[in-house]
């Protein structure tokens, strides 16, 4: 029998309730990726700053559901860092060319793996800089506004850094963000964008759009956009199409090359677990001969780079966009993480992810769907699309009551997740290291947290009174 997120079917098979912990245990036992968790360091509850050991056993591992924000530390990261620190201590400058990770071309060890993760050819990918820096470098080459075609289309409420980057690029070229930034909001009363609305605006406004610049997975709602369709629609109207894959890489299957995406950028500290501020990625499709607007010596052909004759021999494609030599201390943790990805495939991870997130969705709906007979009972609306093809692993939960107190109670009980006031929690069960048991523990803990938050909350008094009135 295949494990299924269809709780009732599995629970009938197991002879237990669909919400029973036995379902989670069975799914974990039959998870062929379960050993990958051992490659990461999962924090102990007692070590989390806001945990309260009087409520839960501090020696237990925490319920880590914040991989959308910062992935866990790969076990091997420390070892690789120590190797390079030792090399530096023992041989100084010779480390540039010696050892298994010569600093001068350290990225060579890992760019092939990263290219696999995003569905690109190795020569289409460069690991360098931070995400926002790469977005700027790419826009400098792909955004060439003219009076007729000067707009950049992006989702309304894009991640702030992307919004600012686009805004400042428009201003840099002497255009006015008010006129040149085309922000696409969801329909009134809706939380996520409909693919057909995105395609329609491209079709309608495309002649004035220079660049379509979407996120691949929206950071707030968790929506996965139809990147192939958006790319095709943009190209039909002569626009360049780029994606910010920060929340998509390591989370969903990407095929940047096959889809013909023009350019993309991403960070590696979210689902790719490289540590805060880790080395970011950039992609330029091999069909392009665009040149970088800004040059540095690392864009120079490696064979002749160190002749220092000041005659630029630019590497083709994205490799010519490199500016500085690689920060080896950032390469180490990224390599440690990418090697774990290499033990499996994005396809296998995604299969598990669909189940794991489906299981979370099932339990939330089971316990917290709005009950018309008890309108004052706290309930949860999932704003992430219910279609698994339109989301990654994250679910964004919108609570019917203010969420700050609930979040605090979750943290006291050893849950690491992410809050966006006033009412949203972002919950990301990551298939690399999260278990079905983590999801089950989260739901149990959420029950306790809600109980504590409601018990303590006098702001709920009006609700209680009005419920009483309905009883009387
Ligand atoms: C995380 C994230 C960023 C962060 O940018 P940095 O340059 O890495 O600090 C930017 N954009 C998006 C869409 C993100 O998800």
Q: Please report where in the chains the tokens 């989390």 appear, as a residue.
A: 48
Euclidean distance between CA atoms 288 and 126, whole angstroms: 15
Tell me, using a 6 A CB cutoff, whether residue 132 lines ligand 1.
Answer: yes
Tell me, using a 6 A CB cutoff, whether residue 391 lines ligand 1.
Answer: no
**pLDDT at res. 7:** 63
**pLDDT at res. 457:** 53
* Annotated binding residue 271: no
Q: Which residue from 253, 363, 440 is spatially nearest to 8, judged by alpha carbons?
A: 363
- CA 209 to centroid of ligand 1, rounded, Å: 23
Tell me, using a 6 A CB cutoff, whether residue 435 lines ligand 1.
Answer: no
Tell me, using a 6 A CB cutoff, whether residue 265 lines ligand 1.
Answer: no
Whether the pLDDT of residue 1 is over 70: the answer is no
Tell me, using a 6 A CB cutoff, whether residue 247 lines ligand 1.
Answer: yes
DSSP annotation of 118: H
Quick one: tokens of 279? Answer: 């080395």
Look over the chain and give the mean of its residue pLDDT values, rounded to a whole number: 94
Cα 302 to Cα 98, 298, 299, 316, distances in angstroms: 16, 8, 8, 12
* Annotated binding residue 132: yes
* 157 conformational bin, left if phi > 0, alpha if psi -120 to 50, beta if neither: left
**pLDDT at res. 462:** 46
| Atom of ligand 1 at shortest range from CA of 131 | 7
Which backbone phi and psi does 467 adopt, to 5 degrees? -65, -40
Euclidean distance between CA atoms 219 and 221, whole angstroms: 6
- Rounded to two decimals, the pTM is 0.94
DSSP alpha helix (H) spans, 244-345: 256-259, 302-305, 328-342
3-state secondary structure of 283: strand
Confidence of residue 456 (pLDDT cuts 50, 70, 90): low
Confidence of residue 141 (pLDDT cuts 50, 70, 90): very high
* Annotated binding residue 6: no
pLDDT, one tens digit per residue, over 291-302 is 999 999 999 999
* Annotated binding residue 244: yes
| Atom of ligand 1 at shortest range from CA of 133 | 7
Lowest mean pLDDT among 45-49, 83-87, 104-108, 154-158: 104-108
Average pLDDT over residues 43-67: 96
């Amino acid at each position: 029998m295949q494990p299924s997120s269809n709780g009732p079917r599995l629970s009938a098979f197991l002879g237990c309730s669909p919400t029973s912990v036995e379902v989670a245990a069975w799914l974990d036992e039959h998870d062929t990726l379960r050993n990958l968790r051992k490659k990461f360091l999962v924090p102990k509850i007692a070590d989390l700053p806001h945990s309260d050991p009087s409520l839960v056993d501090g020696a237990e591992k925490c319920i880590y559901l914040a991989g959308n924000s910062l992935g866990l530390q790969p076990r091997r990261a420390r070892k690789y860092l120590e190797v390079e620190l030792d090399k530096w201590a023992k041989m100084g400058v010779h480390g540039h060319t010696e050892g298994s990770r010569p600093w001068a071309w350290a990225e060579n060890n890992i760019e092939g793996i990263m290219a696999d993760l995003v569905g690109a050819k190795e020569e289409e990918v460069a690991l360098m800089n931070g995400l926002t820096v790469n977005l700027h470098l790419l826009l400098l080459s792909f955004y060439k506004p003219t009076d007729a075609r000067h707009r950049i289309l992006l989702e309304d409420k894009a991640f702030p850094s992307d919004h600012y980057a686009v805004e400042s690029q428009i201003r840099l070229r002497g255009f006015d963000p008010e006129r040149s930034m085309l922000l696409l909001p969801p329909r009134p009363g809706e939380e996520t964008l409909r693919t057909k609305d995105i395609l329609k605006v491209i079709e309608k406004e495309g002649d004035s759009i220079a660049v379509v610049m979407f996120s691949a997975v929206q950071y707030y709602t968790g929506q996965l956009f139809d990147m192939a369709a958006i790319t095709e629609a943009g190209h039909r109207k002569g626009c360049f199409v780029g994606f910010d894959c920060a929340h998509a890489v390591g989370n969903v299957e990407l095929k940047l090359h096959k889809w013909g995406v023009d350019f993309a950028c991403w960070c590696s500290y979210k689902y790719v677990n490289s540590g805060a501020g880790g080395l970011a990625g950039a992609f330029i499709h091999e069909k392009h001969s665009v040149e970088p607007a800004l040059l540095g010596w690392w864009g120079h052909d490696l064979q002749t780079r160190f002749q220092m004759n000041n005659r630029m021999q630019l590497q083709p494609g994205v490799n010519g966009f490199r500016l500085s030599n690689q920060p080896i201390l950032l390469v180490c943790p990224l390599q440690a993480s990418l090697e774990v990805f290499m033990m499996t495939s994005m396809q296998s991870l995604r299969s598990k992810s669909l189940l794991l997130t489906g299981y979370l969705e099932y339990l939330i709906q089971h316990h917290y769907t709005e009950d018309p007979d008890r309108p004052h009972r706290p309930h949860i609306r999932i704003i992430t699309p219910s279609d698994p093809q339109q989301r990654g692993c994250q679910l964004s939960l919108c609570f019917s009551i203010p969420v700050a107190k609930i979040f605090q109670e979750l943290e006291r009980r050893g849950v690491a997740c992410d809050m966006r006031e006033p009412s949203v929690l972002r919950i990301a069960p990551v298939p690399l290291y999260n278990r079905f048991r983590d999801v089950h523990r989260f739901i149990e803990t959420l029950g306790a947290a809600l109980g504590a938050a409601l018990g303590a909350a006098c702001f709920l008094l009006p609700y209680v009174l009005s419920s009483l009135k309905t009883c009387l």
